[in-house]
């Protein structure tokens, strides 16, 4: 893949859309627990390739085209307030 993010993109890359859920159960506590579990399950699915690359490494091309064996930790994660509270378990 020879395409790279340009500096005008400010380093952000759209990764996934998360589902909007509506529950038939009326208990708010149960709804919040189920919503949190679904959110974390979706993140596990979306971030699975990154987690594998972080643990086992992955071969990636450098700017000169040479292949390098890299480990890629997640460096940043941008959220709005409700998701930030959900991820930080507040």
Which of residues 75 and 23 earns the better pLDDT score?
A: 23
Q: What is the chain's mean pLDDT, rounded?
A: 79
Q: How far apart are CA 85 and CA 90, in angstroms?
A: 5
- How much is the pLDDT for 89? 61
Q: How far apart are CA 6 and CA 11, in angstroms?
A: 8
The pLDDT > 70 percentage for the chain reads 69
SS3 21: coil
pLDDT digits (tens, 9 = 90+) for 45-63: 988 888 888 888 889 888 8
pTM of the entire structure? Answer: 0.60
Domain boundaries, the chain: 28-87
């Amino acid at each position: 893949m020879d395409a790279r993010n340009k500096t005008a993109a400010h380093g952000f890359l759209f990764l996934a859309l998360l589902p909007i859920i509506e529950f038939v159960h009326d208990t708010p506590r149960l709804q919040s627990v189920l919503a949190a579990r679904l959110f974390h399950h979706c993140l596990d699915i979306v971030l699975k390739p990154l987690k594998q690359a972080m643990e086992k490494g992955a071969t990636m091309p450098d700017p000169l085209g040479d292949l390098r064996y890299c480990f890629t930790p997640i460096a940043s994660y941008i959220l709005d307030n409700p998701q930030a509270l959900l991820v930080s378990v507040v």
